[in-house]
Amino acid sequence: SAVISQKPSRDICQRGTSLTIQCQVDSQVTMMFWYRQQPGQSLTLIATANQGSEATYESGFVIDKFPISRPNLTFSTLTVSNMSPEDSSIYLCSGTRGITEAFFGQGTRLTVV
């Protein structure tokens, strides 16, 4: 299995600011994804983090709001830009080596005030 470390584990941020979440995998994974879990909701895919190129965003998510980097196979960052209280969520990084081996970080609990 792979171990995925995310940081920070939680943060409280002022509206209008930006937060960058880091995700480190302890071994190579094929794909890396970023999910969001809003209160009482399911995990929703934000984007696929592509190594060395622009991320692939799902409907409803845009690069200006959620810029993502993946400079190598084991590291990715997600930035939540110009935050508003509606961005308060748990953000989860995921790495896969195939469908059955999807590993998740512990999540970043973000509160925007």
Partner 1 sequence: DQQVKQNSPSLSVQEGRISILNCDYTNSMFDYFLWYKKYPAEGPTFLISISSIKDKNEDGRFTVFLNKSAKHLSLHIVPSQPGDSAVYFCAASAPGANSKLTFGKGITLSVRP
Interacting residues toward partner 1 by CB under 8 A: 4, 6, 9, 30-31, 33, 35, 40-45, 48, 92, 94, 96, 98-107
Which is nearer to partner 1, 13 or 103 (by Cβ)? 103
Rounded least distance, CB 10 to partner 1, Å: 9
DSSP the chain: ---EEEE-SEEEE-TT--EEEEEEESS--SEEEEEEE-TTS-EEEEEEEPTTS--EEPTT--TTTS-EEEEETTEEEEEE-S--GGG-EEEEEEEESSTT-EEE---EEEEE-
CB nearer to partner 1: pick between 14 and 98: 98
Nearer to partner 1, 85 or 98 (CB): 98
Q: What backbone phi and psi angles, to 5 degrees, belong to 85? A: -55, -25
Nearer to partner 1, 1 or 14 (CB): 1
**Minimum separation from the CB atom of position 51 to partner 1 (A):** 13
